[in-house]
Structure 1
Amino acid sequence: MVHLLVVDDEKEVGTFLSRLFTMKGYLVQVVNSGKEFHEIDWNQQRFDVAMIDLKLPDCDGLSLLQHLKQLQPRCKVLIMTGYSTVKTAVDAMKLGASDYMEKPFVDIEVLERQIDNLLNENEALNQHFIHKLAEDSGLIVGESPLMKNLIEMAFKVAQKSVNVLIEGETGSGKEVLSRFLHIASPRNHEPFIGINCGAISESLLESELFGHEKGAFTGATQLRKGFFEIAGNGTLFLDEIADASPAIQVKLLRVLETREFMRVGSSVTLRTNARLVAASNENLQQAVDKNKFREDLFYRLNVVTLDIPPLRSRKEDIPLLVRHLVERNGHGDISFSIEAIEKLQQYNWPGNIRELSNVVMRTLTLADNKSVITANDISLFNSQITPDKNVSPEIQSTENLLEEWRKRLVADFNEKDELMLEEILTEIKQLQSTIGKELVMQALQKTYGNRNEAAKRLQISIRKLRYILNEKSQT
């Protein structure tokens, strides 16, 4: 017989739940306070499932959760919460709760299914299922406890219609995790739409998100649906949300508050049921503190925060990641030697998995039909030792260019009685262009080809970066 514990200070709720689950054949015990909870004879009573209200008059539901999991770790716990405390309910899942349910109970069948699922859950099979979903989305979990905890938490969150904020360093796999959230959710048959807020200008980003009417602006030759509209009941992933302009932040806040928006150039209100997953390699709380990001929007996005660990914190996963990358690139017959793997594990990977992927791809390209990659075959981006550790490589490169130009100019001045000033000024302009391009190339190397990150580090716009590289005209 299933033993169910209900902890709720509302006696009507306790009575209702007792009757509901007694009719299903459960043995139900109801307590209405923390005091009654602690009076239970835990040596005599064993519970299969506990339903705990987060807000009790004499204690915090989280403390009861922790106490219960210490006494009976195999007991499944369902947290009951009001909408305003959903974030706390998510914190409860980090402490061992299996699931949560919002009060008041709108759909009793959903509640019954949640309890049935907890009782029938096979942890080994469930973990295998979760890891298979992760693999299908391109996310390699590996052996790291940090990643295992993250993916299990992400799976639980995926079942809920709450906004999710993913934080992590550049190249750590934020978009891949967002795809896992989509695949693991009930929305997996709906569209998944991703957009990088930092790669698109403000005016274009508004049109991309909300759509526009024909004639709304120059070049708007036909009606276009925005991503909120296209996503429908699916998932909309906003990468680098910290780069969204203040005006876009205001519009996003309105959508999150009302689920309503208008196309550019239209007065017709449309509704969206898309789930929003946002990501940032910048700590949004710090951005709020610096007045770079709206606090009210941050709280709307930050219902659930998932932090992806950097690769340097999960080096035990590098062998599995390398195997995955090798097979993904169609080189399943090539292996990395133990010494090669050890070399990769000794590196700190500032560019995370994206950098590892680049290193593996470059190594395979230059492998010369080898079947085994050795440590000598691997060249790391930042493995070069610079003469002065206090000076960045890009500054040293620039100093070398300037020094060479200065020596040549001094030599010309000493050899000649006259100099052509106009020629020197023209040469200075050419030198400026060369130095600018050199700094951009160094920044791109340092950010492993991420142009948005390179532009941010150089404190220039993407348009300026492309201009320096002679890729497009500056306007």
Structure 2
Amino acid sequence: MKSNLRKIIIIDDEIEVGNFLKHLLTLKGYEVDVGHSGAEYHELVAKKAYDLALLDVKLPDTSGLSLLANMKAHHSRCKTVIMTGYSTVKTAVDAIKLGANDYIEKPFDDIDQLEELIDQLLHNTATSEQTHMLELAEQVGFVFGQSGSMHQLLTTAYKISTKNVNVLIDGETGTGKEVLAKYIHQASKRRNQPFIAINCGAISEALLESELFGHEKGAFSGAVKEKKGIFEIASNGTLFLDEIGEASPSTQVKLLRVLETGEFMRVGDETIRKTNTRIIAASHVNLVKAVEEKKFREDLLYRLDVVKLTIPPLRERIGDLPLLVSHLLIKQNSNLNFSADVIELFKEYSWPGNIRELNNITKRAVALAEGEVAIITRSYLPDKLLAVNVHEHPESKKSENQEDFESYVTQWTSQLLKLWKADEDIELETVLKRVKELETMIGKEFVQKTLKETVGDRKIAAERLQISMRKLRYLLNEKGS
């Protein structure tokens, strides 16, 4: 008779671990088989299909990652969890990137958490987890788009968010490292505790130590009262240390002590205090190179780089650009859109400032175009973008508005001359109405052209056109202004 029980396979060379897990999970109503090597794994999976596999990283005849690859290739419906010691957490993170559903650390300090993970994997669908991931990303404004690398980043960040490990985020300036840090915090069990971000490169050494660890009254000039530091305020929350590579040697030493012992002292005090803050650090500089150049402590890097997440630059995920632009326009409460050829121009640009630069250019364009047009064209972009494909587009320095205007005038003139040469009756009122339309068009175009040249300064534009502000508003069809 076929069993309806959920089936679990455990592969661990430590007999005690296998026996313990089998006893625990059998009591919970699961059907459990245990093996102690890669060979026994292959024997078991050849006889039976499993719903969940718990695989140890280190085995006598193979590695857990090899078994993981086999499971994903031949038994794709089976959920997988990698079991690892603290020293091999990086390997476990690699396993997640290879398709493992999660990992757990040995020894199992929290049995309830272990049981919760197993129950969740066996009874929750992948769809519900995916939905939660996407909802959290939307909440914090983490736009990951369609690129495979960003989806992998989102998945890995979500998996490690619940682990009590430090994270190092690597990426160029403006890629969104703080947004990713917020995502990890919101996906973690610390979500209801404080999330505090601090830029280590934007604060002086003395002030940074005071911000991080707090100070006693009179500890230094200006310390008129005692102050709690971030490690106290965010004791059970998350601290995001941006530009960690800019921290001074003295601050690095104190950070190392906190990471190793969970202990710190306020500036000017000798009382040892405890903290349970999770550290997420980020840097746009290569910290390994900084260690080689004696600018960053190797032992501190080792403590920070338990899990490393790398955000790809915008130029490597250019297919996501339209979605990012749409997100930024919504964020600015703008009803404007960029023209199709502007989006193509965006795709050709290298974006050295990444998403931060895209955000600034979008804000600038919206500020200049708001109230003038519904579609943002090249004429609202900075020169550095217009210079991107000058060779491909010889007329790129000519604005689209200018081209549209010239086309309108040419067509209007052609139609008027055609009427003039015609040997038939002409309704003069219709002709004069078209002349009035041309007059309105010309007035508005000259005003808009001058506004662009004066970066939106209406007063200067009116002076250059030698008209009043009232006339300028009239020509822009702002008759009620």
Matches within 5 A, 1:217-232: 217-232=220-235
Q: Which residue number corresponds to residue 327 of structure 1?
A: 330
Q: Which of residues 64, 68, 74 is equivalent to 1:65?
A: 68
SS in 2 for 1:79: strand
CA deviation map 1:315-361 (0-9, x unaligned): 11111111111111121x21222222112112111110001001111
Q: Of residues 328, 342, 345 in structure 2, which corresponds to 1:343? A: 345
User: Given that residues 345 and 385 in structure 2 are in contact (C-alpha distance below 8 angstroms), is that contact kept between their aligned partners in structure 1?
Assistant: no
CA-CA distance at 1:287 after TM superposition: 1.3
Q: Secondary structure at the match of 1:113?
A: helix
Provide Cα deviations, 1:403-456, integer angstroms capped at 9, x if missing partner. xxxxxxxxxxxxxxxxxxxxxxxxxxxxxxxxxxxxxxxxxxxxxxxxxxxxxx
Quote the Cα distance in structure 1 between the aligned partners of 2:215 and 2:204: 15
Structure 1 position 150 matched with structure 2 position 161:
no
The one-letter amino acid of 1:308's match is I
Separation of aligned partners in 2, 1:381 and 1:225 = 46
Q: Which residue, 84, 87, 92 being the options, matches 2:87? A: 84
Pick from 299, 304, 318 the counterpart of residue 302 of structure 2. Answer: 299
Q: Which residue identity is paired with 1:18?
A: K
Instruction: Supply the distance in 2 between the matched residues of 1:360 and 1:326 (Cα, whole angstroms).
Output: 7
Superposed CA offset, 1:26-67 (max 9, x none):
22111111221233353x421110001112122222222122
Structure 1 residue matching 2:267: 3-state secondary structure: coil
TM-score (norm 1): 0.78
Matched AA of 1:34:
G
For 1:134, which of 130, 137, 147 is the aligned residue? 137
Structure 1 range deviating more: 252-261 or 316-325: 316-325
What is the identity, as a one-letter code, of the residue corresponding to 1:28?
V
2:31 to 27, 31, 37: 27
Q: Tell me what 1:185 maps to.
A: 188
- Distance in 2 of aligned mates of 1:224 and 1:285: 34
Q: Per-residue deviation at 1:372?
A: 1.4
Name the CA shift for 1:368/1:189 in 2 (closer, same or farther; >3 Å).
closer
Give every structure 1 segment of 4 or more consecutive aligned residues whose post-TM-superposition deviation is greater than 4 Å: none
Query: Which residue identity does 1:132 align to in structure 2?
Result: E
Aligned to 1:372: 375
Q: Which one of 217, 236, 239 corresponds to residue 239 of structure 2?
A: 236
2:9 to 1, 5, 8: 5
Q: Spell out the pairing of 1:276-287 with structure 2 (5 A cutoff).
A: 276-287=279-290
* Separation (CA, whole Å) in 1 of partners of 2:298 and 2:178: 24
Structure 1 equivalent of residue 40 of structure 2: 36
Determine if contact 1:238/1:277 at 8 Å carries over to the other structure. yes
Structure 2: distance between partners of 1:380 and 1:153: 39
Q: Alpha-carbon deviation of 1:124?
A: 2.4
Q: Structure 1 residues 316, 366: CA separation in 2 closer, same or farther (over 3 Å shift)?
A: same
Would the aligned equivalents of 2:348 and 2:388 in 1 still touch at CA under 8 Å?
no
- The match for 2:479 is none
Instruction: Give the alignment partner of residue 126 of structure 2, picking from 104, 110, 123.
Output: 123
Q: Is structure 2 residue 294 aligned with structure 1 residue 288? A: no
- 1:104 is the counterpart of 2:107: yes
Asked if the contact 1:150–1:306 (Cα under 8 Å) also holds between the matched residues in 2, the reply is yes
Q: Distance in 2 between matches of 1:386 and 1:100?
A: 48
Matched, 1:216 2:213: no
The separation in 2 between residues aligned to 1:344 and 1:386, in whole angstroms, is: 10
Number of aligned pairs?
Answer: 385
Separation of aligned partners in 2, 1:108 and 1:268: 34
> Which one-letter code corresponds to 2:350 in the other structure?
N
Q: Does the CA-based 8 Å contact 2:346-2:385 persist in structure 1?
A: no
Partner Cα separation in structure 1 for residue 132 and residue 110 of structure 2: 27
C-alpha distance in structure 2 between counterparts of 1:157 and 1:41, whole Å: 28
Partners of 1:108 and 1:259 in 2: CA distance:
23
Separation in structure 2 between the aligned mates of residue 146 and residue 375 of structure 1, nearest angstrom: 31
> Which residue type is aligned with residue 3 of structure 1?
K
- SS across alignment from 2:33: strand
* Post-superposition offset of 1:96: 1.3
1:295 Cα deviation after fit: 0.6
Contact between 1:197 and 1:243, CA under 8 Å: does it hold in 2? yes
Instruction: Tell me if the contact between 1:239 and 1:278 (Cα under 8 Å) persists in the aligned partners.
Output: yes
Q: What CA distance in whole angstroms lies between the structure 1 residues aligned with 2:43 and 2:383?
A: 61
Distance 1:15 1:385 in 2: 65
Letter in 1 for 2:27: M
Q: Which structure has the bigger radius of gyration?
A: 2
Shift of 1:16: 2.0
Cα deviation 1:237-280 (Å, max 9, x = unaligned): 10000011111111100110000000000010000000000000
- Aligned to 1:249, the other structure's residue is in SS state helix
Native 8 Å contact 1:336 1:373 kept in 2: yes
2:230 aligned partner, one-letter code:
F
> In the alignment, is the contact (CA less than 8 A) between 1:131 and 1:141 conserved in 2?
no
- Paired with 2:388 and 2:71, the residues of 1 have a C-alpha distance of 54
Unaligned 5+ segments in structure 2 are 391-481
TM-score norm. by structure 2 comes to 0.77
Q: 1:191-221 CA deviation, whole Å, 9 max, x = no partner?
A: 1111100011111111111010001111111
> What is the one-letter code of the residue matched to 1:154?
A
1:399 counterpart residue number: none
- Deviation per residue, 1:288-322 (Å, 9 max, x gap): 12221111000100000010011111111111111
Q: Distance in 2 between matches of 1:275 and 1:248?
A: 17
- SS in structure 2 of the partner of residue 381 of structure 1: helix
> SS at 2:95's partner residue?
helix
